[in-house]
Amino acid sequence: MPHTLLIATTNADKVTEFRKALADLHYHVQSLSDYTGYPYIDEDGLTFAANAYKKALGYYRHFNKPVIADDSGLQVPALNNAPGIYSARYGGPHATYDDNNRVLLRNMCHLCGDERQARFVCTICYIDEQHIRYFTGQTDGLILDRLTGRHGFGYDPLFYVPSLQKTYAQLTTSEKNRISHRGKAIQRLKTFLQAIS
Ligand code: IMP
């Protein structure tokens, strides 16, 4: 019988990335979209780790099964690491990905060269009855001055990875998983899951 692992998100893009990356483990991967009537957990922490922990703990207590929750975002050092933990709502409380990209482009229009450096960070928190563990991944890049590429989600069309000479949005899901902040955090999670199963 495979173990069940609940990914505490309804974000279909993230679920796709997690499922692909964990496909070769013997886990039955579920997401919140497989359920109804679960509590809403506010991401009001001040760090990615605090938000990931809050979600993982809340859903572990509710579902009583192994849970992973992640919090991730884009940090631009020249903008004091904004949008950071506010990445999902940079353009306002109901902002779409397009709104967020527009605000980012506007706020960076006076920046050039190294000032356009950015990093994506992802922290995953895993909780089961015996463990609370954190796994973090980071990928460095540059913010372009226009949208480039059609894959992915969020800030992907603006995030250029110099070593690949492509944006995240020009990569397939598998290519992105290999080098992305979330992919790196998931690899660390996978090593841990293999060790405990
Ligand atoms: P959360 O981790 O669900 O709170 O969302 C963080 C936000 O960061 C997302 O809504 C996106 O705007 C952004 N983000 C996180 N990971 C990625 C990614 O892989 N590509 C593009 N945007 C991302």
Q: What is the pTM of this model?
A: 0.94
Decide if 56 contacts 67 (C-beta within 8 A): yes
Q: If phi over 0 gives left and psi between -120 and 50 gives alpha, with beta otherwise, what is residue 101?
A: alpha
Known catalytic residue at 71: yes
Whether CATH 1.10.1280.10 fits 3-196: no
Q: Is residue 35 scored above 90 in pLDDT?
A: yes
Determine the distance separating the centroid of ligand 1 and the alpha carbon of 68, expressed in angstroms: 16
Cα–Cα distance for residue pair 29/10, rounded to 1 Å: 13
From 7, 15, 16, 87, give the residue whose CB has the most ligand 1 atoms within 8 Å, as the site to mutate.
87
The residue extents of the domains of the chain are 3-196
How remote is the CA of residue 1 from the centroid of ligand 1, in Å?
33
pLDDT greater than 80 at residue 1: no
Please write the tens of the pLDDT for every residue from 60-77: 999 999 999 999 999 999
Q: What is the pLDDT of residue 13?
A: 80
Task: Tell which atom from ligand 1 comes closest to the C-alpha of 176.
Answer: 19
- What pLDDT band is residue 154 in, cutting at 50, 70 and 90? very high
CA of 155 to the centre of ligand 1 (A): 7
